[in-house]
Structure 1
Amino acid sequence: MPVTLLRPQCRPECRGWLPRPASGLLAGILSCAMALAGMPAQAADPGVAFSAGKPGGPLPAGWENKPVVHGKALTVYTLVADQGNTVLQADANGAASGLIHEGDVDLARTPVVKWRWKVAAPIPNADNRVGDREDAPARLVFFFEGESSNLSFGDRAESLAASAVGEKLPYATLMYIWTDSAPPGTVIANPHTSRVQMIVVSGASGDAGKWQTLRRNVSADFQRVFHEKPGKLVGYGLMTDTDNTGAIARAWYGDLRFKPAP
């Protein structure tokens, strides 16, 4: 499918997501113990299995509900039952926050992300090309480090402005979004900053109310939209947001896994 590039004019906005680094001590101990026992360490595909939880139970360890901008209302994320499986339900009412995990994934080994999601309905009047209507009922988000000297003057100024108010913007953010404002395959630059690029993957007629299983090569997509190789993945997660339109939205997310490229 041909890709349409939409690049609206950028304006500064501070969006403060960056997960804290965590220790890999337990994984290292387990690996060493298995090696000493003469057993190969079989690592599961990285990601998250919401299906392993119980409806109404705690969210998986290491996942935090982080606001897009401090002071915004938070999207509510809960584990619920769906056709015999446990899934994550997201409810936003004029809210914007993401369920975010540290970047513990080596995209050189497992660059392909596979996930399921379902959206109850499109957000009325939402349009990801327009700043005051830039909402989405479902997103996957990926935050990357990079070389700041590669940034344009405007992007560096934006980053400095964010630092001055206590925020730190990722070098680049890649998103996969559900929207009916543009056809699947469209690439949209966030209307506030070109360092956030969105790829439409769902939202065509008939997609609402149905579970979809999707697969994307994160590394290849990053290189395609940012025209450079990705740096270190520092965080990833999912988000349902309606802070700009003030609407109500609901979505469900199934397990999310990273896999090697075929």
Structure 2
Amino acid sequence: MHEPFRLQPLSHAMAHGDTPDPGRRRWLGRTVLACAALAGCARRQGQHREEAAAPAQVAPFSASPPDGRLPRGWEPYALRRDKRVTRYATEAHDGRTVLRAVSDGAATGLRCPVDIDPLQTGRLRFSWKVDKMDPRLTVTDPRIDDSPARVILAFDGDLRRLSLRDLIFFEQVEIFTGRRLPYASLMYVWDGRAALESIHTYSRSGRIRYLVIDSGPRGLGRWQTHERDVVADFRRAFGEEPGPIRSVGVLTDSDDLEVTASALYGDISLGAR
């Protein structure tokens, strides 16, 4: 973060009358920590990574053996240490290797670091399959914020463009989690009740948006294949041009409702627009 916009710690804000919500630790839930984990070691604008360069493509699940392990090129991220772990494992299904996710009241995900320019390589393709779902699973209610299937894109950008509210929020997340939020996160979700193609904003930050591409029981038990123009979706969700994509993630979570949610994920790819 550039120095003119560096924020004082929460103790300074409290001393000056900006008292945070007493439940601020609770609101750092799955969505926010998912985005923080997806950001990983992504560089801030103008900085270089200390780690090896991220690949220019998403690691396909089909390139891994169906041996019940994590797919190659993907790494787990824990959203909160006090939450149960969503189980992710490769398996053979319909003649190919896919990823199975099972959440028993859990909330953890997988991420694949990438370095992709969506203006050139912004055609997103993926498939998922959900056999059954609790209709209460939704990202539209901040008290619940559960979904059987999500594909999450984390974008880099200029933090100087953030509002003061988002800057404060970003610093709070970093204080409590030790991770930086990406400049923007766009989540494609299967929701229990929200309208198709509806966009929803996370209640604590405008830099996290949900785009509903499957909804309710329609399509359950069948593979749903999606192809999206990431640039068009980002423009519609955020009203600006997207920066580089720094990671792609999947998330199946049901910790708020304490129910079982499961999904199969096929390969996720980003190709030429």
Q: TM-score range, shorter-chain basis?
A: 0.7 to 0.9
Residue 182 of structure 1: aligned partner: 194
Amino acid at match of 1:140: V
Question: Could you say which residue in structure 2 is the equivalent of 1:213?
Answer: 225
Q: Does residue 93 of the first structure (1) align with residue 114 of the second (2)? A: no
Tell me which residue corresponds to 1:255: 267
Unaligned runs of at least 5 residues, structure 2: 1-23, 42-48
Counterpart of 1:54 in structure 2 is 65
Measure, in 1, the Cα distance between the counterparts of 2:84 and 2:94.
30
The equivalences for 1:23-172 within 5 A come to 23-24=52-53, 46-165=57-176, 166-172=178-184
Identical columns (%)? 33
Count of aligned pairs: 233
Q: How far is the alpha carbon of 1:72 from its aligned partner?
A: 2.3
Q: Which amino acid aligns with 1:210?
A: R
User: Does structure 1 retain, via aligned residues, the 8 Å contact 2:100–2:263?
Assistant: yes
Distance 1:71 1:103, change over 3 A: farther
- 1:240 and 1:250 mapped to 2: Cα distance? 7
Contact 2:87/2:103, CA 8 A, preserved across alignment: yes
Q: 2:40 aligns with which of 19, 28, 32?
A: 19
User: Residues 228, 70 of structure 1: CA spacing in aligned structure 2 closer, same or farther, 3 A cutoff?
Assistant: farther
Distance in 1 between residues matched to 2:130 and 2:59, nearest whole Å: 19
CA 65–123 in structure 1, closer or farther in 2 if over 3 Å, else same: farther
Distance 1:23 1:156 in 2: 28
Shift >4 Å, 4+ stretches: none
CA distance in 1, matches of 2:175, 2:268: 35
User: 1:56, 1:169 → 2: CA distance?
Assistant: 33
State how far apart, in whole Å, the 2-side matches of 1:213 and 1:101 are.
20
TM-superposed CA distance for 1:205, in Å, is 4.0
| Rounded Cα–Cα distance in structure 1 between residues aligned with 2:109 and 2:211 | 17
Amino acid at match of 1:127: T
Aligned residue for 1:174, secondary structure, equals strand
**Bigger relative contact order (CA 8 A; separation at least 6):** 1
Cα distance in 2 between the residues matched to 1:158 and 1:19: 17
How far 1:60 moved relative to its partner? 3.0
RMSD: 2.1
1:131 to partner: Cα distance: 1.4
CA distances 1:182-210 after superposition (whole Å, capped 9, x unpaired): 12111111233221101000125431111
Using the TM superposition, give the Cα deviation of residue 153 of structure 1 relative to its aligned residue in structure 2, in angstroms. Answer: 1.9
Q: Measure how far apart 1:92 and its partner are.
A: 0.5
Farther off after superposition, 249-258 or 159-168: 159-168
Point out where structure 1 has 5 or more consecutive residues left out of the alignment: 1-10, 28-44
Distance 1:200 1:113 in 2: 15
Instruction: Summarize the Cα distance change of 1:144–1:190 in structure 2 as closer, same or farther, 3 Å threshold.
Output: same
Hey, what's the Cα distance between the residues in 2 that align with 1:88 and 1:234?
21
